[in-house]
Amino acid sequence: MGTSWNEEVTSCYSLCCQDRRSSKHIHDNVHGNIYLDEFFLKFVDTEQFQRLRDLKQLGLSHMVYPGAVHSRFEHSLGVYWLAGEAVHTIKAHQGSEINIERTDINTIKLAGLLHDVGHGPFSHLFEREFLPRVLNGSEWSHENMSVRMIDYIVDEHNIEIDAAMLKNVKDMVLASSANASENTPNEKRFLYDIVANGRNGIDVDKFDYIVRDSRACGLGCNFQFQRLMETMRVIDEEICYRAKDYLTVHKLFATRADLHRTVYTHAKVKAIELMVVDALALANGELSISASIQEPAEFWKLDDSILKQIETSDKQELKKARDLILRIRKRDLYQFCNEFTVPKDKQEHFKSITPQDIVCSQKNGDTPLKEEDISVSIVKIDLTRGRNNPLESIKFFQDYETDFKFPIRDEHISHLLPAFYQDMIVRVYSKKSELVGAVSKAFENYQLKTYGRKAQVHDTPEKKKSRNRY
């Protein structure tokens, strides 16, 4: 006779409680008590993992949102915890159907714990803006470095771990990458969607950072991941969600997009990021910052403290970088001039705008500008699938009595849901306050020349335009 659902739940609950009695617990301000047994502590209690304490989760956002000082360390613990909770929930409800073993649980939890161990300083700025600037065509990613760092930690600290489990942990960390399907087995395929989901974008990584980031920045968050965690179900090796939870799933992606718009790509946050990228690029020759990505043994020594290292150095070679950081400290930031959203029909073939484009848009008699006076930031905000709707990749089920899974089209739910899924915003900054007016005017000229109209919504504040008068 098969095991009943109640027996599965009782067995799973008993196992969790037994684990917790022999574990170390850490109180997290989002999830409450997080329990770590001896196996996971072998990774946590290494200098490579402890480095995550010195990487702010939101990079430089704390300079605009002072509460955003939480670290990759606590986020990683949160993802570890939610990964375990997710697989325990599935096991409690479907354990007899899909045979989730203890090794599977530990593998998923370890992948959640270590998914960001290869992250660079200042959130994604390091890999997306700094490295492409100093290493032309760089395709370095923190996911790939996380995989290398996992091997390094295991070897450096002589951690005993089954070779198959180690491989699966690394594949789970890479599960959101473009070629992840090549390394993902068909059996228990759903396990690879829990930490980093390349199939449809719903994963516990997002569950944690959406709630954690919203709380740290003092923003409300009405997305409740618990609802999805409690009701998700595996059908044909895929995690599916109740049809009635469609709007909750949509809210996940919408809340993430709102965080990008209001926090991660805030106009002043981007101004500071542009200055930090310039400072790091100026210091790279002296400090060989980019060279650290070659070996995990060197990379783990790099964290957010690199700015303080530049700031407190007395080397003449670092003076220009030091001066830029001093400007940030004194709030003498690159000045936001204006922005416009690229029209929907222009996005597919959009050509990046450069400072040269702005300079070349000046008219005779305008205050002359140089390319080095201008910074351009191009921001993309989407629902994780670019111009595509991520919900089209998600499968739903009607009730627990059937095994039929199906997609749901937006128009079957609400006509208020978006018809387009990506914004591309072009922002222009002046590096000198006295040139704000000239840069703004040149940017307006560029828009008129390119689109036949000004695409921007905001008028540049008169106080900025007139700063060069006083």
Strand order in the sheet with 238-242: 233-235, 238-242, 396-397, 405-406
CA Rg, the chain, in Å?
24
Q: What is the sign of the dihedral through the CA atoms of 12, 13, 17 and 18?
A: negative
Distances (CA, A) of 460 to 263, 266, 407: 21, 17, 45
Annotation marks residue 142 as catalytic = yes
- Nearest C-alpha neighbor of 113 from the set 58, 179, 46: 46
At CA 34, angle to CA 77 and CA 97, rounded to 5? 90
* 286-307 core/surface letters (b: 16 or more CB in 10 A; e: else): ebebbebbeebeebbebbbebb
Question: Strand pairing partners for 405?
Answer: 397
CB 147 within 8 A of CB 118: yes
- The gap from C-alpha 297 to its chain's centroid, in whole angstroms, comes to 24
**Per-residue DSSP letter, 200:** T
Q: Is 420 helix (H, G, I), strand (E, B) or coil?
A: coil
Distance CA 125, CA 132 (A): 10
Q: What is the sign of the dihedral through the CA atoms of 245, 248, 254 and 259?
A: negative
Q: Is 329 helix (H, G, I), strand (E, B) or coil?
A: helix
Active-site residue identified among 70, 93, 142, 250: 142
- Nearest C-alpha neighbor of 169 from the set 50, 35, 43, 351: 43
Distance CA 64, CA 265 (A): 11
**Per-residue DSSP letter, 56:** B
For 459, list phi and psi in degrees, rounded to 5.
-85, 140
Distance CA 122, CA 46 (A): 21
10 Å CB burial of residue 125 (0-12, 13-18, 19+) is buried
- The DSSP code sequence of 136-183 is TT----HHHHHHHHHHHHHHHTT----HHHHHHHHHHHTTTSTTGGGG
Supply the residues annotated as catalytic.
142
